[in-house]
């Protein structure tokens, strides 16, 4: 399937559901009245702020206007601007190093495990991506160093990796380790043969083995979901879905199949809600409802309702905002990290990757998510995790891991032909679709 990916950046529009917008005007040096939308806050007079606070707000606001800090997608409404009321991270955060952007790496690091030995194998294999940025066969020299380091650490730490496997999954984990060892030798041979084009596919294969080994270290579901949500559809683990989209009026792309990994370890309620809707075929035949270079969004059913109407109650089924933070054993529910005062907390599933999947909601109602979802199209080397106004405000529950670049070709009116669960359905508990059937 050939495709020309054309993702032209546009200033993020901030859609939301019947939001009351705070308006203000500001004169520039020429006396012109500037719009509120993406206006740098430094031109708004506030005598109560210290000089440093003013400087910090200016830096963040200018970055926002330049598109370095993302806007806020919410429940779809094509013609409404939302109030930008972001938490103020330290200026130093804005200039820190680049975030991890690979969806596979984000998913691996998000697993609830603590095994240093396997992470030390994972890291040099991931570093091959940076090594391949060097042009031509010169890239193979650093690639070879990466491979040798990964192979060496695997041999040295294999016993610790095996010890970390869950007893019920040990046999499968051992099989993956054998495939990983054999694959390392094959990759070493590829490098010695100076076959640059074969490196990336083999690297992806090996990292899939590593991710599988790490998943086999998770023994059961690691925490209890709060009692008030325990009867909801919950994804206690991970699931993979394929979303097939029919692209209209594009000679380069006809159909796109996006593989999406849903992470129930860090968002069991959100991911479970989505898988339940997938099994109801809720999204099959639905059009893409927003595609503006910032996000792709869908999930708004026909009619006045803005979410899924549960036939058993004849009311919109909503779910709580669900955010897992580094260092915590379970997610926070019903509040943004800003509202909790956790301004510097790192989310386990950040908005770092092109194709990050999250639940849309009313901006001013944390627990209003239902069926509308979006995929982030924007990424930035200059915007680290949690220095934007999405992390900690919207519930990420998965990443597009295959064909994510083709999301840039999807547009309003394209049709989701189907979404199918290809693995992990056994991890869904309390499925309402079975009751409906």
Q: What tens-digit pLDDT sequence spans the chain (437 residues)?
A: 333 222 333 334 433 433 233 333 333 333 322 222 222 233 333 444 444 444 444 444 444 333 333 345 656 543 333 333 333 343 333 334 467 899 999 999 999 999 999 999 999 999 999 999 999 999 999 999 999 999 999 999 999 999 999 999 999 999 999 999 999 999 999 999 999 999 999 999 999 999 999 999 999 999 999 999 999 999 999 999 999 999 988 888 889 999 999 999 999 999 999 999 999 999 999 999 999 999 999 999 998 888 999 998 999 999 999 999 999 999 999 999 999 999 889 999 999 999 999 999 998 899 999 999 999 997 654 445 556 679 999 999 999 999 999 999 999 999 999 999 999 999 999 999 876 65
Q: If we measure between CA atoms, which residue out of 87, 44, 43 comes closest to residue 69? A: 87
Q: Greatest CA separation found in the chain?
A: 72
Quickly tell me which residue has 């440093």 as its tokens.
Answer: 52
Strands (E), 270-366: 290-291, 295-298, 309-310, 315-316, 322-323, 332-333, 356-359
Q: Is 242 exposed, middle or buried (0-12, 13-18, 19+ CB in 10 A)?
A: middle
User: CA 72 to CA 67: how far, in whole Å?
Assistant: 12
pLDDT at 224: 97
Strands (E), 247-405: 255-263, 290-291, 295-298, 309-310, 315-316, 322-323, 332-333, 356-359, 373-376, 396-402
User: CA 229 to CA 233: how far, in whole Å?
Assistant: 9
Write the DSSP symbol of residue 79: T
- Assigned token pair, 123: 């890291």
Residue 215 neighbours by CB distance under 10 Å: 20
């Amino acid at each position: 399937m050939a495709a020309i990916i054309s993702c032209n950046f546009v200033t993020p529009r901030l859609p939301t559901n019947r939001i009351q917008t705070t308006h203000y005007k500001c004169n520039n040096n020429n006396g012109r009245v500037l719009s509120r939308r993406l206006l740098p806050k430094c031109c708004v007079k506030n005598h109560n702020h210290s000089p440093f606070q003013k400087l910090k707000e200016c830096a963040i606001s200018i970055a926002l206007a330049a598109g370095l800090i993302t806007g806020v997608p919410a429940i779809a409404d094509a013609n409404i601007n939302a109030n930008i009321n972001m938490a103020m991270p330290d200026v130093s955060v804005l200039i820190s190093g680049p975030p991890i952007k690979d969806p596979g790496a984000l998913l691996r690091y998000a697993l609830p495990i603590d095994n240093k030995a396997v992470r030390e194998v994972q890291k040099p294999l991931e570093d091959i991506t940076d090594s391949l940025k060097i042009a031509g066969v010169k890239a193979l020299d650093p690639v070879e160093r990466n491979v040798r380091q990964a192979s060496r650490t695997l041999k040295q730490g294999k016993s610790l990796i095996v010890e970390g496997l869950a007893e019920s999954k040990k046999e499968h984990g051992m099989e993956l380790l054998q495939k990983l060892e054999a694959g390392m030798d094959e990759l070493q041979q590829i490098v010695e043969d100076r076959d640059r084009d074969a490196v990336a596919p083999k690297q992806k294969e090996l990292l899939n083995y590593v991710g599988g080994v790490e998943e086999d270290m998770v023994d059961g579901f690691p925490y209890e979901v709060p009692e008030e949500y325990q009867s909801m559809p919950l994804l206690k683990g991970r699931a993979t879905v394929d979303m097939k989209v029919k692209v209209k009026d594009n000679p380069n792309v006809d159909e796109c199949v996006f593989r999406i990994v849903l992470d129930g370890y860090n968002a069991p309620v959100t991911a479970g809600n989505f898988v339940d809707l997938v099994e109801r075929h809720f999204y099959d035949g639905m059009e893409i409802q927003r595609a503006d270079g910032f996000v792709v969004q869908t999930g708004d059913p026909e009619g006045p309702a803005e979410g899924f109407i549960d036939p058993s109650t004849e009311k919109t089924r909503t779910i709580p905002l669900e955010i897992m933070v580094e260092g915590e054993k379970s997610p926070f529910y019903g509040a943004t990290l800003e509202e909790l005062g956790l301004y510097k907390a790192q989310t386990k599933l950040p908005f770092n990757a092109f194709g990050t999947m999250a639940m849309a909601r009313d901006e001013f109602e944390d627990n209003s998510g239902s069926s509308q979802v979006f995929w982030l199209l924007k990424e930035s080397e200059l915007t680290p995790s949690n220095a934007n106004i999405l992390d900690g405000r919207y519930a990420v529950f998965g990443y597009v891991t295959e064909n994510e670049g083709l999301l840039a070709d999807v547009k309003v009116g394209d049709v989701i032909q189907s979404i199918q669960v290809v693995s992990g359905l056994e991890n869904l508990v309390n499925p309402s679709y079975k009751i409906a059937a």
